[in-house]
Structure 1
Amino acid sequence: MSSTAVTSRFVLKGEDVTLDVQKPDIQEETIFEWKFKREDNVVRLVKDEVFVFTNYRGRVEFSSEDYSLLLKSLTEADSGVYTAVLFGDKDMKVAEYEVTVQVSPVHLTVKPVSSSSDSCNVTVTCSSQDSSISSTLTCDGGDCFLEGGERSEVTASATAFRVHVFDGSVICNHSNQVSWRQDRIEIDARCWPDVGKTLTVMNISSIVLLISVYFVICFIVYLNVSFYHQYSELETLMQALLLSNGIQIHFAVGCAFHCRELCILLHWY
């Protein structure tokens, strides 16, 4: 079988990829196939009839126009070599692809080693599905640094890691041929968790207290305004009634947040 150059294709997990070929000259007696790992049959074309093998039904689409193969919703298990082969008087390899399905999620974890009121040592680990790197983070008096400085590493699968400290956080960057991801953790929350909890409780308590005081003040103001209007209307009504009998009435209303007095002075003329 004649050979052809292998083309590398990197694909993010869950995405699709199309494998193209230079359309061969198909004779009536020839058969065209796509194979996986050189042994597993994917698609077969015989006399304009397309047959998709059981394991790949719903997972691939074959184009009868240009003989390309669409691989859908790829998983790690789909990584490997895909070969387009023409069988006839002389078998011929039309195209060959090495497909690598890469997973991008990255996770940063912190494991405490030692701590005191103003310092701490933790181990930070930046990991993906198939690889990871670790480093020691030290914080002393608010100054945090990674032992040995910024840490970078490229794995055998061409995955790159970078761990560094920036703006009060330890950060993990992860990249490969198809994507870039980042995870970060605030340093203070990991080194002095009790401080963070105390501040949170204090903030919540202060907010509740302020809201309570606000509503009490609003209620008192409402009562003052309500009583003032009620007694003003009462004064007008009483004066209208009593003056008709030669009686004059005066109301003196005093309002305060803690007490309220109503004084009625009657004067006869």
Structure 2
Amino acid sequence: MALLLQLIFVPSTLISITESSDVFRLVGDSVQLDIQDPVPEFDGLSWVFNRSENVLKHYSEVKKTKQYPGYEGRVEFNEETYSLTLKNLQKTDSGLYEAKAVGAQNRVVAEYRVSVLDPVEAPVLTHQLSRDTCNITLTCRGHDLSISSSCYKETCEEEEVTSPGGVTLSLSVSGSTIICNHSNPVSWKTDVLEMRKLKRLCADEGEGSVSPSAGVSVCFLKTVLYSITLTLMLSAVITVHIRERLTKSS
């Protein structure tokens, strides 16, 4: 029987009409890889990792399935649909998976490129008010990516950057909310800033200056006005006092 099982999988030319499909999963998740093309009559069907490492083999004549070291206990095979399920995925499971039907006609009937990714980190959205009235700089940071944008009153520039690994950092506006979004194909996290906070900053800055170029604060003007008023009041009191003394003297 062992000799028969070995002969079934004698290497031969394989016909592949399948285009690989990209699949993304989080670390610890599971993935089911289904057959993509019609399966011809076969003596055996194998799932192979990176074209060299056997995951499992199924022998149709004896209805037997063999799992290989490294996959025992964490893969499932459906003997009716020939689909493969990988469980508790790790980043080392990223790569190319192929289903090969071997018999009178040898054919690749499924091909998947699996990417196992960590969840993204939570981004950080910060803001800084410039010296110009209502000009606010926003900075969105996520892992090793960073983008900046400028806002004037309620108008903000939207920005986005994507790394070669498919990680995206974006700064956008949705209604009255500014959103810093950090994402990859399987996860995303956000940090938000309400537009009313920027409006308050703009209002505070407007109260703090006469105009963008004047540079004279309302507090300073109030101090001057108070000083002038106090001086006039003191002068009036002194004048009345002097008049009373002059009246008494006369």
- Encode CA deviations 1:239-262: one digit per residue, 9 max, x unaligned: xxxxxxxxxxxxxxxxxxxxxxxx
Q: What fraction of aligned residue pairs are identical, expressed as a percent? A: 29
The answer on whether the counterparts of 1:37 and 1:80 sit within 8 Å (CA) in structure 2 is: yes
Matched ranges for 1:9-158 at <5 A: 9-13=22-26, 14-21=28-35, 22-27=38-43, 31-46=44-59, 47-88=62-103, 91-109=106-124, 124-127=139-142, 132-135=145-148, 149-158=157-166
Look up the match of 2:224: none
The answer on whether the counterparts of 1:109 and 1:126 sit within 8 Å (CA) in structure 2 is: yes
Answer with 1 or 2: which has the greater Rg. 1
Which has the higher relative contact order, 1 or 2, with Cα contacts under 8 A spaced 6 or more apart? 2
Counterpart residue identity of residue 33, structure 1: S
The answer on whether the counterparts of 1:152 and 1:163 sit within 8 Å (CA) in structure 2 is: yes
Runs of 5+ consecutive residues of structure 1 not aligned to the other structure: 193-269
Matched ranges for 1:123-202 at <5 A: 124-127=139-142, 132-135=145-148, 149-164=157-172, 171-184=179-192
Aligned residue pair count: 181
Aligned-partner SS, 1:26: coil
Following superposition, the deviation at residue 164 of structure 1 comes to: 3.6
Change (3 A) 1:57 1:69: same
Look up the match of 2:225: none
Whole-angstrom distance in 1 between the partners of 2:181 and 2:128: 23
Q: TM-score, normalised by structure 2?
A: 0.55
Q: TM-score, normalised by structure 1?
A: 0.52
- Are 2:4 and 1:4 aligned? no
Runs of 5+ consecutive residues of structure 2 not aligned to the other structure: 1-13, 202-250
Whole-angstrom distance in 1 between the partners of 2:125 and 2:161: 19
Following superposition, the deviation at residue 145 of structure 1 comes to: 7.5
Counterpart residue identity of residue 32, structure 1: L
Following superposition, the deviation at residue 163 of structure 1 comes to: 1.0
The Cα RMSD (Å) is 3.9
The answer on whether the counterparts of 1:12 and 1:179 sit within 8 Å (CA) in structure 2 is: no
